Amino acid sequence: MNNPMRVILSVALVASLAACTKKTEVKPDEPVAQPTQPEVPAVVDDGKYDASDLDTDSCLRQRVVYFDFDKAEIKAEAEAILKCHGKYLTDRPSAAMTLEGHADERGTREYNLGLGERRGNAVSSALQANGGQASQLNVVSYGEERPTCSDSNEDCWGKNRRVEIVYTAK
Amino acid sequence: MKRFHWLFVLIGLLGARIGLAQGLMVDPVQGSSAAIPVAAVPFAFEGTGMPPDTDVGAVVAADLNRSGQFRALGRADIVEFPARPGDVKFATWRLLKQDFLVIGRISDADAGALRIEFELFDVAKQARLMGLAIGARPNDLRGAAHQIADLIYEKILGIRGAFWTRIAYVTATGIGQNTQYALMVADSDGFNPQTVVRSREPLLSPAWSPDGKRLAYVSFERGNSSIYIQELTTGSRQVVAAYRGINGAPAFSPDGSKLALTLSHSGNPEIYVMDIATRRTTQVTRHFSIDTEPVWMPDGATLVFTSDRAGKPQIYSVPAGGGDVTRVSFQGEYNARASLGYQGKTLAMAQGSGNVYRIAVLDRSRGGAGEMRLISPGSLDESPSFAPNGSMILYAAREGKRGVLFAVSADGRVRQRLVLADGDVREPAWGPFRQR
């Protein structure tokens, strides 16, 4: 469960809330612009994501959706992330992800399991609204059992009330 | 009063010294001066071998103290050591303002066992109230002492004692990805901790079978929550629920044949009842809200559970076969995880108000909606679990970043802390009465 990818991605996320950039143009530094290597087939960008974008695209690199206390409503700030991951699932039907739902420490553990699942389901619905298929999405709730932050204050609670997007197939 | 404080300091130090070696530290934090004074004299050893390490009289005294109903005379104030009824000088104990006196002696029995005889006296009446003998293996003198404390408690208060019982709890040690979880079982005073299962993934919600031989619990070791039932003596265990979604909050029915549990494979958490022998489940609740944390009323016909169907979590009841849902808790904005007291007349629950979570007890013995009372002073108190006689409640609290357990008398007057020397302790579950 504790894949290093998730940690790296969480760190990357903290860095900024950069806008989602759709790949619609050929970037100048890509092989297609280098005629000295004609044996490399030209990449025809069809506007679709490929697996490498998970590591490079500034929107796809964001994998955490945050929630308010005892709430499972998707906040406006998360819409861009859900759009690009929804598009990725559309572009790559073989891709699959687990949505790990979490809660902060307040309240009882079993109720928080329910709350974490409700959040995971909310993210799953939003991804399906953005083109993902139910068969690509798996929700697992950890409740309050896997906090990323262990202080008893709002700053920490806010970081723990989250859904983590974990790709299980790219 | 002064003597009383010293007594607690003494017990605290003793507890700390012994407790560190044993795993749990018993640390009284708050006492009651309204309790009944009782003196438990160290039991005389009249056997042939080495005297045992366990001071039976001291274990009895600590048990009675912990209940909040009694105030045991400190060891330093015990000046006479009668071992037999004929040795007792009542004037001495009256001078020490003791209402009751316990004496006893340990002798050899057959096949290496020990025989423990004890007497309970009413000091004012100068009368023997009880005299009994019980047998024990030399390595279970603490168990024998707890049984004696139970008999004394019942003789004086008319309520069966619950000292000779066990508790289950979960420990978490290490941080982040290196956290190790363990489901533990210990005596009700925290001694003799034993590991039931270890896991690198979270463990939660231990629940006792009514015969005390099995524990049901939730483990994430398969990547998602699943429910296991484990035999304590053999360690053998079985997965009984591993559906898609949540598999949580197991609770054995009073006859031990069924398990109430929370499953969310229908799309959201609902209460189900499983027949343990056939594993067949019956859905009990049907609502789009979170329904979880079921517990059985003693008659086995009704379940009490947590639901946020009214917006915030509150306690409700429902027939165990399904049917109309009735709201139980009305005071407090957040009420969850009910534990039932003796005969189900009282309910303990975690009550939230803003960022403060405390243990509340709802007394329904006088009918109506009942009276709600807060009995814990913390800010993140949860998981209340009643002793089988309803006299005390175990609960989990936070001290800084660390989880600790408290035992509090049901009236909230006396509180003791049980701390694991290293790491986090949580999810306490008080086991049933034990059969001799």
Q: Is CATH 1.10.510.10 what the domain over B166-430 is classified as, yes or no?
A: no
* Structure-block tokens of residue B147: 């049984």
Q: Which CATH architecture is the domain B32-157 placed in?
A: 3-Layer(aba) Sandwich (3.40)
pTM of the model: 0.87
> Domain containing A91 — which CATH number?
3.30.1330.60
- A142·B292 Cβ contact <8 A: no
For residue A152, the chain B residues in CB contact (below 8 A) are 379-380, 398, 401
Q: Is A139 part of the contact surface with chain B (CB cutoff 8 Å)?
A: yes
| Helix/strand/coil for B322 | coil
Please report, for residues B4, B391, B414, the alpha-carbon distance to residue B33 in angstroms, rounded to integers and kept in the order given.
Answer: 8, 17, 10
Residues in chain A, pLDDT under 50: 1-2, 4-35, 38
- The partner residues of B128 in beta bridges, in order of sequence, read B121
**Cβ–Cβ gap B427/A105 under 8 Å:** no
Pairwise CB contact (< 8 Å): B249 & A150? no
From the CA of A38, how many Å to the nearest CA of chain B?
A: 47
Spatial distance between the Cα atoms of B175 and B195, rounded to a whole number of angstroms: 20
**Inter-chain touch A114–B292, beta carbons under 8 Å:** yes
CA distance B42 to B27: 22
Domain range holding A46?
Answer: 4-169
Provide the pLDDT confidence category of residue B272 given band limits of 50, 70 and 90. Answer: very high
Residues from chain A that touch B312, judged by Cβ atoms under 8 A, are 70
Q: Give per-residue pLDDT as tens, B160-197.
A: 999 999 999 999 998 878 899 999 999 998 899 999 99
For residue A139, the cross-strand partners are: A99
The total number of structural domains that make up chain A: 1
Is residue A102 within 8 A of residue A160, CB to CB? The reply is yes
- Which of B220, B399, B424 to mutate against chain A (most A CBs within 10 Å)? B220
Q: Which amino acid makes up residue B436?
A: R
* Contact predicate B385/B430, CB 8 Å: yes
B4 contacts B34 by C-beta, under 8 angstroms = no
The pLDDT confidence band at residue B412, using thresholds 50, 70 and 90, is: confident
What are the structural domain ranges in chain B?
A: 32-157, 166-430
∠A111-A113-A116 over CA atoms, to 5°?
A: 110
pLDDT category at B25 given cuts 50, 70, 90 is low
pLDDT digits (tens, 9 = 90+) for B126-160: 999 999 999 999 999 999 999 999 999 999 999 99
ipTM of the complex: 0.90
CB contact at 8 A, B358 and B345? no
